[in-house]
Amino acid sequence: MERLLNKLIERNKYLTKYGKVADYIPALGNANPQDIGVCIMDIDGDIYTGGDYNKKFTIQSISKIISLMLAIMDKGEEEVFKKVGMEPTVEPFSSLYKLDLSHCEKPSNPMINSGAIVTTSLIEGKGEEKFNRLLKFMKKIILKDNLNYNKEVYLSEKETGYKNRAIAYLLKQKGLIEGNVENILDIYFKQCSIEVDCIDLAKIGIFIANKCKNPKSKEVLCDEKIASIIIPIMTTCGMYNFSGEYAINVGIPSKSGVAGGILAVVPGRYGIGVYGPALDGYGNSIVGYEILKDLSKELNLSIFK
């Protein structure tokens, strides 16, 4: 397996020059566009790694999976989906224009920024408690105590997140979020800044692939039904407005983040974490996509085949 991972990294590394590191959050601009890492964890908890698998990066939009899980655990499926939809969208992840249309009742889905700001707001707890609960939940999933957020990235986004701020105030005006808007944004920016590596992503992936159970601890952290909501949402919305083509070419439920991470879930089989900060125009890791495409072919991982 590790030979395969390294072969795929070698085969695809030329692609990094066609991508661009995200710099609309200034601190993300410091990443090395040539970094590539992969980790696969199987259902027995065995780990296979390749390249820069232990490089740290911020989780960004992949955290949207975690906030969705917690929101459903806290408020129930019905309450959550009253305020956020479950439909894919052709708009980019940071779009707010549809939300401003009078007939648009709620964000299309929880994998775009507007939808994720809603799910974050639905996590139980006052102020900082929401974030602490999210971090604690992630620590339990990953079985890692020293997980934390990157202050520099958090402050960088907090200072420059004008568009997310506009989205959040629009959500407030439409009655889709309750409480103090700046506090909710603060939690959202912090959750996006949580530092992970490919192993951490693979562990979250296998937790979902294994119906919300860590294969090592076997501790049940949430109802397995949550996996059956998260997996289709990842499949249809996880790669933003590239989710359709991605489903055809890769066929693995996945979620990307703008720092270059992709988390992929092969139900009942594997959790996969890939890192490559050079992004394509959709905000997905350019080399991460190609590696997952190759891996899917080599190991027959598509859920559609």
Residues that bind ligand GLN (CB under 6 A): 60-61, 93-94, 113, 157, 164, 192, 257-258, 283
Q: Which is nearer to ligand GLN, 90 or 220 (CB)?
A: 90
Let me know if 139 is a catalytic residue: no
What count of other Cβ atoms lies within 10 Å of the Cβ of residue 251?
20
Q: Are the C-beta atoms of 193 and 149 separated by less than 8 Å?
A: yes
- Minimum CB separation of residue 138 from ligand GLN in Å reads 16
Minimum distance, C-beta of residue 22 to ligand GLN, in the bound complex (Å) = 8
Give dist(CA 184, CA 187) in Å, integer: 5
Give catalytic status of residue 258 as yes or no. yes
What tokens does 256 get?
Answer: 């990307």
Nearest-approach distance from CB 36 to ligand GLN, in angstroms:
18
* C-beta of 85 vs 277, nearer to ligand GLN: 277
CB of 163 to ligand GLN, least distance (A): 7
The residue annotated as part of the active site, out of 196, 250, 258, 287, is 258
**The dihedral of CA 126, 131, 137, 140: what is its sign?**
negative
102-110 contacts at long range (C-beta below 8 A, 24 or more positions apart)? 105/174, 106/82, 106/174, 106/176, 107/171, 107/176, 108/237, 109/84, 109/85, 109/233, 109/236, 109/237, 110/64, 110/67, 110/68, 110/71, 110/80, 110/84, 110/86, 110/233, 110/237
> Is 20 among the catalytic positions?
no
Which has the closest alpha carbon to 205: 271, 140, 144?
A: 271
Which one is catalytic: 48, 154, 240, 275? 240
φ and ψ at residue 38, rounded to 5 degrees: -140, 145
254 is catalytic: no
Q: How far is the CB of 261 from ligand GLN (least distance, A)?
A: 9
**Which one, 207 or 240, has the nearer CB to ligand GLN?**
240
| Closer to ligand GLN by Cβ: residue 73 or 258 | 258
Name the residue number minimizing CB distance to ligand GLN: 61
Task: Report the 3 state secondary structure along 199-226.
Answer: HHHHHHHHHHHCCCECCCCCCECCCCHH
38 tagged catalytic: no
Catalytic position from the list 64, 83, 106, 213:
64
Per annotation, catalytic residue among 53, 149, 154, 188: 188
The distance of closest approach from Cβ of residue 272 to ligand GLN in the complex, given in angstroms and rounded to an integer, is: 18
Q: Which is nearer to ligand GLN, 212 or 279 (CB)?
A: 279
Give one DSSP letter per residue of 55-72, joined into a string: --EE-GGGHHHHHHHHHH
Pick the closer one to ligand GLN by CB: 60 or 296: 60
228 sits in which H/E element: helix 225-237
Catalytic residue, from 48, 61, 213, 293: name it: 61
Q: Which amino acid is at 91?
A: E
Residues annotated catalytic, as ranges? 61, 64, 188, 240, 258
